[in-house]
Amino acid sequence: MDYFNSNKYEREWKLYEDFLASAAVKLSSSGGQSRRTDLKLVDCVSYRVRFGHGLPPRSFIRVGPSILYTDKVRAQDRAAPEGETCSVPSGFDLLPNEVLCKIFGWLDTIDQLPLRRVCKRWEDVLRSRPCLETISICPQTLVAPPVPEECLVFALDKMVDKDRSRVLGLYGPRNQPVYINCLHSSSREEDVLDSIADEIMNYALGKQSAAEQANVYSVFTKGPLIRQFTVRCLHHSLFSDIRRIELTYGSVSFQNLSELPSTVNEILLRQMDLTGLASLTDYGEYGFAIDIERAAIVAWTEDERLVVLWRLAEQEVKPLTPKQLLRLANRIQLCQNFVLSDVLRGVDEIVLRREDELVTRKGPTKWDLATIKPLTAVDVNAFVRFRLDALGILGRH
Amino acid sequence: MSTAASSSTSETIAEPGLKIKVSTKEGEVFELDEKVAKMSQVIRGILEDLGEQNGGDDSVLPLTQVETRIFRKILVWLKYHAGHDKEEAPKAEEDEIIARFCEEIPEWDQKFLNVDQAVILEIMLAADYLDIKKLRGLCCKTVANILKTKTVEQIREMYGIENDFTPEEEEEIRKQTAWCEDEPPRQGSNH
């Protein structure tokens, strides 16, 4: 298996050296008297190496750059008793793996997968392609694979706009977003599969640039419920760095949240249906949650890991009513050990937004977050009440 | 500066400036403008390494693995692009440039590559050998587009690739990849 420690490798090196020697002789005997006679074929090779082409004997024998490919070598390679068969060299046989990779790089995974069946070499190359910067997960109804682990589901950020889609964005290493596409949630498997088929179609139609596609490992899979798959994906070593997750649309439950990898320390919820959280107030080891219909603040703590989730309704969702704000304030008391300032900043945001609509009212318009820290839960309640009072929008129900 | 070609099979290109002589596999000698020749990173590297001393000497750079008929083809491409391309941006962005260039293959290049499949592969191979990244990228994209539309069997036949899997191995891979082929996506039913 270990080619580079094998006899084959040594034998190929020998051939390689012989070949270089003979080529150099040929070159200097045909090159005339010019100063360039010292320019040996080796130089060409070294340039290639310098440019990062790399030249292990394997490439030399099997798929090496044409400069090294002689009939002699080819014949000997063919005569070699073991190792991969290399029949009549076709155009592709001559191409270095690197070039083959570049060809495949222009294909997205949907197109790449069947090509694995062409021959062993293609299979090798396709398997080894670096990939997996993007995955897709369907939260409730999604699929888990009878496929290899590297075949994770992918998604495109472009799909964010698709009304049936939900998007879960993950922020991976180097702060690059990793998008997880959450498909249509339905209890019927056929619906899910249809959705997946649609997504595949959309992807195949190529919404992304080819350059991006080259980095996207895109596999849709069928199988059991996605939740396990989700977790498996997220615990994949590739995502060991994930620290921030964004959820948009759809719903979430604490079960989902509890399955997130422990590296995640920030979760943003946007326009989520949080009824899964709403019915619960004390989530035990997961902490506590607050929700106000579609807009929500969630806070919980687990061991040293403190997570504060808050994302108040964004544009598309209507602003909170004062009553909702009050409920929010009341619920805040349920939270323990949450980052008060973060929550309050969220509250403040709403209040400030309301203020925009109520410019004529008089009252405090800025809340200095620095003063928040010593507040207790009760203080928070009072604070919110105070702010609302100041705006004159409370107590008129 | 320029020297008369010494080989009887040589082909000169009458342009001013430094000439670089290269020979193909068959030994045919071509004389190229420096600018054209330097589009090949390999030739450029060799020339740079030789420094200033290369002017006026009649030695020939052997491109032993490029056949004349392919080299002629590549020469057409090189000359066209030497004349039409903007100045190369810094190397760091090279990949990006190639990606952008290949994103939508220009019409001229499309026509250029409207040749037999085998020839494209040979051009690609030669472009890789000569390290002409743009041309290589172009060929890769073109081939990729073709692969996309073919079945595995068609690809094997087209390019003379031997199926070296055992039936069991092939079946295994087929299983792993089956879901994405041979199964037209079902029509969506939303309810």
- The predicted complex's ipTM stands at 0.76
Q: Which residues of chain B make contact with A211, given a CB cutoff of 8 A?
A: 96, 99, 103
Mutate to test the interface with B, among A40, A62, A99 (most CBs of B within 10 A): A99
Cα–Cα nearest to A57, from A7, A16, A5, A18: A16
Q: What secondary structure letter does DSSP report for A165?
A: -
Q: Is residue B91 part of a domain?
A: no
Coil, helix or strand at residue B169: helix
Using a CB–CB cutoff of 8 Å, tell me whether B42 touches chain A: yes
Cα–Cα nearest to A51, from B186, B38, B41, B79: B41
Dump the DSSP string for A93-124.
HHS-HHHHHHHHHTS-HHHHHHHTTT-HHHHH
Q: What is the mean pLDDT of residues A48-68?
A: 32
Q: Is residue B188 part of a domain?
A: no
Confidence of residue A128 (pLDDT cuts 50, 70, 90): low
Q: Is residue B135 part of a domain?
A: yes
Residues contacting A298, CB < 8 A, separation 6+: A267, A269, A274, A277, A289, A290, A291, A308, A309, A310
Whether A151 sits inside 8 A of B176 (CB atoms) is yes
Mean of the per-residue pLDDT values of chain A: 42
The pLDDT value given to residue B97 = 66
The pLDDT value given to residue B94 = 61
Q: Quick one: three-class SS letters along B128-158?
A: HHHCCHHHHHHHHHHHHHHHHCCCHHHHHHH
CA A94/CA A231 separation, integer angstroms? 43
Helix (H) or strand (E) holding A342: helix A340-357
How far does A55 lie from chain B, in Å, by closest CA?
A: 12
Q: Is residue B39 part of a domain?
A: yes
Q: Are A343 and A299 in contact (CB under 8 A)?
A: yes
Domain holding B68: CATH number? 3.30.710.10
Sheet holding B61-62, edge to edge: B29-33, B19-23, B61-62
Mutate to test the interface with B, among A27, A29, A44, A82 (most CBs of B within 10 A): A44
Q: Which residues pair with A306 in a beta bridge?
A: A301
How far does A132 lie from chain B, in Å, by closest CA?
A: 17
Question: Nearest-CA residue of chain B relative to A102?
Answer: B140
The pLDDT value given to residue B86 = 63
Helix axes A71-79, A7-30, angle to 10 degrees: 160
How far does B101 lie from chain A, in Å, by closest CA?
A: 11
Query: If contacts are CB pairs under 8 Å, which of residues 1-30 in chain B contact chain A?
Result: none
How far does A137 lie from chain B, in Å, by closest CA?
A: 17
Question: Nearest-CA residue of chain A relative to B122?
Answer: A91
- Locus of tokens 């074929």: A41
- Identity of the residue in B117, B160, B188 whose CB atom sits nearest the CB atom of A198: B188
Whether B177 sits inside 8 A of A114 (CB atoms) is yes
The pLDDT value given to residue A244 = 52
- Identity of the residue in A44, A115, A200 whose CB atom sits nearest the CB atom of B147: A115
Token output for A198: 């649609």
Mean pLDDT highest for which of A19-33, A185-199, B111-125? B111-125
Q: Which residues of chain A make contact with B45, given a CB cutoff of 8 A?
A: 47, 50-51
Q: Worst-scoring range by mean pLDDT, A35-39, A75-79, B137-141?
A: A35-39
Exposure of A378 in the CB half-sphere (CA atoms within 13 A): 0
Using a CB–CB cutoff of 8 Å, tell me whether B143 touches chain A: yes
The pLDDT value given to residue A101 = 79
Helix axes A377-391, A340-357, angle to 10 degrees: 10
- Identity of the residue in B59, B65, B177 whose CB atom sits nearest the CB atom of A113: B177
Number of domains in chain B: 1
**Whole domain around residue B68: which residue ranges?**
19-86+97-149
- Identity of the residue in A92, A115, A201 whose CB atom sits nearest the CB atom of B121: A92
Q: What is the mean pLDDT of residues A53-69?
A: 32
Residues contacting B75, CB < 8 A, separation 6+: B30, B32, B36
The pLDDT value given to residue A334 = 38
At A152-178, the pLDDT tens digits run 233 322 222 333 333 333 322 333 333
A204 vs B106, higher pLDDT: B106
Question: Residue A129, exposed/middle/buried by CB under 10 A (0-12, 13-18, 19+)?
Answer: middle
The pLDDT value given to residue A215 = 29
Token output for A32: 């005339």
Q: Which residues of chain A make contact with B26, given a CB cutoff of 8 A?
A: none
B32 vs A283, higher pLDDT: B32
- Identity of the residue in B46, B117, B145 whose CB atom sits nearest the CB atom of A39: B46
A187 vs A262, higher pLDDT: A262
- Identity of the residue in A43, A84, A146 whose CB atom sits nearest the CB atom of B46: A43
CA A148/CA A145 separation, integer angstroms? 7
Q: Residue A316 above 70 pLDDT? A: no
CA B70/CA A344 separation, integer angstroms? 71
The pLDDT value given to residue B82 = 83
Q: What secondary structure letter does DSSP report for A59?
A: I
A10 vs A375, higher pLDDT: A10
The pLDDT value given to residue A220 = 28
Helix axes A377-391, A322-332, angle to 10 degrees: 160
Question: Nearest-CA residue of chain B relative to A108?
Answer: B148
The pLDDT value given to residue B136 = 86
The pLDDT value given to residue A307 = 33
How far does B186 lie from chain A, in Å, by closest CA?
A: 6
Maximum C-alpha span of chain A: 103
Token output for A322: 């004062």
The pLDDT value given to residue A248 = 43
- Identity of the residue in B126, B165, B186 whose CB atom sits nearest the CB atom of A120: B165
Report the Cα A23 to chain-centroid distance in Å: 48
Whether A32 sits inside 8 A of B186 (CB atoms) is no
Percent of chain A scoring above 90 in pLDDT? 0
Q: Which residues of chain B make contact with A44, given a CB cutoff of 8 A?
A: 42, 46
Q: Is residue B38 part of a domain?
A: yes
Q: Is residue B113 part of a domain?
A: yes
Residue ranges in chain B modelled with pLDDT below 50: 1-15, 54-55, 90, 92, 179-191
Token output for B50: 């030789």
CA A116/CA B144 separation, integer angstroms? 14
Q: Is residue B32 part of a domain?
A: yes
Q: Is residue B191 part of a domain?
A: no
Using a CB–CB cutoff of 8 Å, tell me whether B177 touches chain A: yes
Distances (CA, A) of A372 to A284, A298, A379: 26, 19, 9
- Identity of the residue in A69, A87, A194 whose CB atom sits nearest the CB atom of B188: A194
At A93-123, the pLDDT tens digits run 777 777 887 788 777 656 676 787 888 888 8
How far does B166 lie from chain A, in Å, by closest CA?
A: 10
Q: Which residues pair with A241 in a beta bridge?
A: none
Neighbours of B162 (CB within 10 A): 15
The pLDDT value given to residue A155 = 30
Coil, helix or strand at residue B58: coil
